[in-house]
Amino acid sequence: MEQNEWNRIKLSVWDMQKDIDYKDDNNYLGKVYPQIPERLIKLYSEKGETILDCFCGSGTTNVEAKKLGRNSIGIDQNPYAISITKSRLEGVVPSNTRHSIFQGDNRKILHSLGENSVDLIITSPPYFNILDYTSVKDGTDLGNIDDYGLFLKNMETVLKDNYRIIKPSRYCCWVVGDITTGGFKPFHFDMQKIAERVGFQNKGDTIIVDRCDEPKTLNEDFKYPPLSTQIHEYIMLLTK
Ligand SMILES: C[S@@+](CC[C@H](N)C(=O)[O-])C[C@H]1O[C@@H](n2cnc3c(N)ncnc32)[C@H](O)[C@@H]1O
């Protein structure tokens, strides 16, 4: 990695608009900007290692992993997300990396992954019930749970398995934002407490400044009018 790039990405605030051209043609709801997994992969993994995204959505982490010569595992309950992930992966120039993409409930699928088996986790869960990924109300889509306490309990189940699966002293990075629609909920703060409870060491946060050009889209997507136009989120940097 070039020294200039290193100096910039080690900063605790990543201004996605100022730093880089982040545009891409992926319209999946709740997608992360590709530069987020790209930077985390460069910072916290080596070529040939394996990266897990257990809420992979449109496969942004998996695609960046493939581009950078890493193996990946992706899990999402939404069949549409899985088809986007697979087709985006096919579009990346072939490399001798392996990518295992599973459709289903991560609370079940994560059990099949071994203890200390993954080198880096990068993921971004649903932020409570603010976006409709699917209309399925059978409890599989964690973004469809309307009880915040129950939602957090389910996040704890997933994070506990993340702790079991990640190798010692390696990083687990969760991109999360506080909830400003339907009443403020300090999701990021609540997740920090859960992370410590399951055993992770908190290595600090990176603040992402993003979505500055999207307030109109945000207002249309959310079920409730936002209290404020939130333009930042956090990357929780956790280690085992
Ligand atoms: C914030 S989005 C992830 C977006 C992804 N980072 C991207 O760039 O496209 C959250 C994802 O969690 C998925 N999800 C919700 N409950 C799940 C579960 N129990 N198991 C696996 N995926 C789940 C949703 O289908 C949605 O795609």
In whole angstroms, what is the distance from residue 227 CA to residue 233 CA? 16
Q: How far does the centroid of ligand 1 lie from the alpha carbon of residue 211, in Å?
A: 19
Could you please state the CATH topology (level 3) that the domain comprising 3-239 is classified under.
Rossmann fold (3.40.50)
Pocket test for ligand 1, best of 27, 63, 77, 211 (most atoms within 8 A of CB): 77
Cα 142 to averaged position of ligand 1 atoms, centre (Å): 8
pTM exceeding 0.85: yes
Q: Could you report the per-residue pLDDT of 99-121, keeping only the tens digit for each? A: 999 999 999 999 999 999 999 99
**Beta bridge partner(s), residue 123:** 174
Q: What is the pLDDT of residue 162?
A: 98
pLDDT band at 30; cut points 50, 70, 90: confident
Compute, in angstroms, the gap from residue 78 CA to the centroid of ligand 1.
7
Which residue blocks in 99-184 are alpha helix, DSSP H?
106-109, 148-165
Ligand 1 atom with the shortest distance to the CA of 127: 1
3-class DSSP state for residue 218?
helix
191, 79, 83: which is closest to 127 by C-alpha? 191
Contact 232, 187 (CB under 8 A): no
Q: Tell me, what's the pLDDT at 240?
A: 95
Q: How far apart are CA 28 and CA 84, in angstroms?
A: 9
Q: With 90 as the cut, is the pLDDT of residue 147 above it? A: yes
User: Which pLDDT belongs to residue 223?
Assistant: 61
Q: Which burial class, exposed, middle or buried, applies to 170 when counting CB atoms under 10 A from its CB (0-12, 13-18, 19+)? A: middle
Give residue 187's pLDDT band: very low, low, confident or very high (50, 70, 90). Answer: very high
Across residues 55-76, what is the average pLDDT? 97
DSSP label at residue 176: E
Q: What is the mean pLDDT of the chain?
A: 89
CB 60 within 8 A of CB 32: yes
Average pLDDT of the residues in 40-63: 97
- Please indicate whether residue 64, judged by its CB atom, sits closer than 6 Å to ligand 1: no
User: In the chain, where do the E strands start and end?
Assistant: 13-15, 50-53, 71-76, 99-103, 118-123, 166-176, 201-209, 232-239
For residue range 194-216, list pLDDT tens digits in order: 999 999 999 988 998 876 555 55
Q: Which atom of ligand 1 is nearest to the CA of 123?
A: 6
Residue 81 CA: nearest ligand 1 atom is: 27
Mean per-residue pLDDT, 80-96 = 93
| Cβ of 38 less than 6 Å from ligand 1 | no
Flag whether pLDDT at 192 surpasses 80: yes
The predicted model gives 158-177 an average pLDDT of: 97
Beta bridge partners of 176: 234
How far is Cα 121 from Cα 158, in angstroms, rounded to an integer? 12
